[in-house]
Amino acid sequence: MSAVTTQPDVSSQAIAHARWRAGEVAFWIAVLACGFLFPSRYLIMTDIVRLGLFALSLDLILGYAGIVSLGHAAFFGVGAYCAGLLALHGIITEPVIALVAAGLAAMVLGFLTSFLVIRGVDLTRLMVTLGIALLLEALAERFSDITGGTDGLQGIEIAPILGRFEFDMFGRTGFFYALAVTFLLFLLARRIVHSPFGLSLRAIKNNPLRAAAIGIPVNRRLVAVYTLAAFYAGIAGALFTQTTALASLDVFSFERSADLLLVLIIGGTGYLYGGLIGAVIFRMLQEVFSTLTPQYWQFWIGLVLVVIVLIGRQRLHRWVLWAPNLLIAQFGGRREAVAVPESDAP
Amino acid sequence: MTVALETTGLEKHFGGLRVTRDLSLRIAQGARHALIGPNGAGKTTVINLLTGVLKPDAGRILLEGRDITDLPVHRRVLRGLSRTFQINQLYADLTPLETIGLAVSERLGRGGDWWRGMGTRGDVNAEIADNLSRFHLLDVMNQPTATLAYGKQRLLEIAVAIACKPRVLLLDEPAAGVPENERRDILSAVASLPRDVTVLLIEHDMDLVFSFADRISVLVNGGLLVEGAPQDVARDPQVKAVYLGEAADA
């Protein structure tokens, strides 16, 4: 009897998680607004958007599936070089198609290496991912006739997007292009994490033993999400090349992978916005600290990290969100996004 | 009799230690079968062999006549062999709604669906609602599992296993650590399973075993000592000596 009456309840409750929240809409409007408010800052903003997309890619495997990586730059680098070579040799001149091709190249590498990564525990994964990135960096250096070696690819020229929008010297086109690509990929990621597939990743991260015990093919799911994340990272790398007309060995660098982990730790994992917010904060901190103390900015970044880890991100979030939540309660006439369940309320 | 689950000559060694010795079990379809034995008899190893967590060194495992010895854990589940854990193995961050939803989605072959959102399929939702109401979990279905009371978590542990619609259900000490007044919920849920579902109960609590089982296998030192109806097993002198005698001393 209860099954019939409660069924709509279950369905609406299950869908509720995937519904767009006011804060999310506000976030994207704010990001878009930046494109019009700060016309002199396109280059740094493009850099932030790219970094955000790259971090989103890491969030998919780390925040959802619990796979740690210290070599995510491997896919970034493959995407970057791929986009650069395609443009340089005029193989695919149209940027959007080249972007997808570069993403697919990174995806193939992600699929092939996923079998090495999913085996073993966190420490093994750190070492394997790190090793693969170093390996690629060395290969890129060795085959300098293709990659340009330490000089990088010289003389890349990027054709107009869709044959219409030319890249300008202020980086305006580049910014909106990077933003559009990132937004589309964000939408896709958002769709995926709210699907049964996405939920099964969280189950695997929580308890792989039980995940297998309810019929989840754990390894296959991990391969799938690792491959997907590689595609995202490859796109981020291709965006880098297309918006800067550069591709050099440092796309594979360890610092790039390590910075990425910092970005995600600052922004928080497992809710998709962590990478984007982390990218903004990370670059702004970098900017602020490097103007204040050009030599010691890394010291301050380090200090911020320690504080975040010690205080705990949840507590920080609560402090930061205290004012907005108050406003929502006042003007929206409803309670904050994270409400106390009825039965728990005193 | 139709055999639901069968092992032949199952062996497992950990180094020089033989934890499972030439174990041949036949569990009839629809049986309420209990596997008992003193501590260290190798009961947990048997469960791990049956579910595929461990690979046997020798012997075969057959589920409803089909060999599943080489299948990985998740494929055995899809074939209809599901289990509960002695110590809760749940998803701390996920809600009961999500936990049950996953189990149902996987069984209906929707688990790999990455485009449609959770909660958009009527058949899945109906089963989730039915399962949650059967286990009195509707009121807490949106709370993260980690925040639930222990009794509720225990119910969820059993609910997940049953959401897999098992043909054979392995219950590993289902009432372990559950307060007396909440045991009833768990036992009645197990008792209300369809009669054609086969249940293998691994249990320490003799009251529970003798009230539940219609057949008992006694495991000692990794091998089968005695198997029979409850009254025969209780009367068996060997069992009294190695098992019940020991329990009486403790």
Tens digit of each residue's pLDDT, chain B (250 residues): 789 999 999 999 998 899 999 999 999 999 999 999 888 889 999 999 999 999 999 999 999 999 999 999 999 999 999 999 999 999 999 999 999 999 999 999 999 999 888 888 888 999 999 999 989 899 999 999 999 999 899 999 999 999 999 999 999 998 888 888 778 888 888 888 888 899 999 988 888 898 889 999 999 999 999 999 999 998 888 888 876 555 544 4
Residue A154 has phi, psi (to 5 degrees) of -105, 145
Reading the block at residue B146, the tokens are 């980690």
- A-B Cβ pairs (cutoff 8 Å, strict): 161
The predicted pLDDT at position A296 comes to 84
Contacts of A164 by beta carbon, 8 Å cutoff, 6+ apart? none
Give the residue among A118, A198, A218 at the shortest CA–CA distance from B73.
Answer: A218
In angstroms, rounded to a whole number, what is the distance separating the alpha carbons of residues A268 and A59?
9
Number of Cβ within 10 Å of residue B67's Cβ equals: 11
Average model confidence (pLDDT) across chain A: 88
Q: Is A271 on the interface with B (CB under 8 A)?
A: no
User: Which residues of chain B have a CB within 8 Å of the CB of A195?
Assistant: 113-118
The predicted pLDDT at position A237 comes to 98
Query: Would the CB atoms of A7 and B83 count as touching at under 8 Å?
Result: no
CA gyration radius, chain A: 21
pLDDT band for position A326 (50/70/90)? low
The predicted pLDDT at position A320 comes to 67
The predicted pLDDT at position B33 comes to 96
Contact (CB, 8 A) for A150 and A249:
yes
Higher pLDDT, A100 or A300: A100
DSSP string, A81-139: HHHHHHHHTTSS-SHHHHHHHHHHHHHHHHHHHHHHHSSS-HHHHHHHHHHHHHHHHHH
Query: Would the CB atoms of B111 and A6 count as touching at under 8 Å?
Result: no
Query: Would the CB atoms of B74 and A212 count as touching at under 8 Å?
Result: yes
Does pLDDT of A64 surpass 50?
A: yes
> Considering only residues 9 to 48 of chain B, which have any Cβ-Cβ distance to chain A shorter than 8 Å?
none
Domain boundaries, chain A: 42-254
Does pLDDT of A47 surpass 70?
A: yes
pLDDT band for position A212 (50/70/90)? very high
Give the residue among A92, A132, A90 at the shortest CA–CA distance from A109.
Answer: A132
User: Which residues of chain A have a CB within 8 Å of the CB of B111?
Assistant: 196-197, 200, 215-216
In angstroms, rounded to a whole number, what is the distance separating the alpha carbons of residues B210 and B215?
9
pLDDT band for position A5 (50/70/90)? very low
Tell me the per-residue pLDDT of A116-153, one tens digit each, with 9 for 90 and over: 999 888 899 999 999 999 999 999 999 999 998 888 99
Give the residue among B92, B50, B85, B43 at the shortest CA–CA distance from B174.
Answer: B85
Query: Would the CB atoms of A344 and B92 count as touching at under 8 Å?
Result: no
Encode A225-271 in three state secondary structure: HHHHHHHHHHHHHHHHHHHHCCCCHHHHCHHHHHHHHHHHHHHCCCC
The predicted pLDDT at position A334 comes to 45
- Please provide the size of chain B in residues: 250
The predicted pLDDT at position A120 comes to 81
In angstroms, rounded to a whole number, what is the distance separating the alpha carbons of residues A28 and B126?
36
User: Helix, strand, or coil here: A158?
Assistant: coil
The predicted pLDDT at position A328 comes to 58
> Considering only residues 111 to 140 of chain B, which have any Cβ-Cβ distance to chain A shorter than 8 Å?
111-120, 122, 125-126, 128-130, 132-133, 138-140
Share of chain A above pLDDT 70, in %: 88
- What CA–CA distances, in Å, run from A57 to A37, A236, A345, B82? 28, 9, 37, 34
The predicted pLDDT at position A292 comes to 87
Query: Would the CB atoms of A14 and B93 count as touching at under 8 Å?
Result: no
The predicted pLDDT at position A321 comes to 65
Strand partners of residue B7:
B25, B61
User: Which residues of chain B have a CB within 8 Å of the CB of A220?
Assistant: 112
Q: Is A18 on the interface with B (CB under 8 A)?
A: yes
Nearest to B90 among A9, A15, A207 (CB): A207
Q: So what's the ipTM on this one?
A: 0.91
pLDDT band for position A19 (50/70/90)? confident
Domain spanning B1-80+166-250: which CATH class is it, in words?
A: alpha beta
The predicted pLDDT at position A336 comes to 43
Does pLDDT of A2 surpass 50?
A: no
The predicted pLDDT at position A342 comes to 31
Domain boundaries, chain B: 1-80+166-250, 90-165
Does pLDDT of A272 surpass 50?
A: yes
In angstroms, rounded to a whole number, what is the distance separating the alpha carbons of residues A152 and A72?
20
Does pLDDT of A186 surpass 90?
A: yes
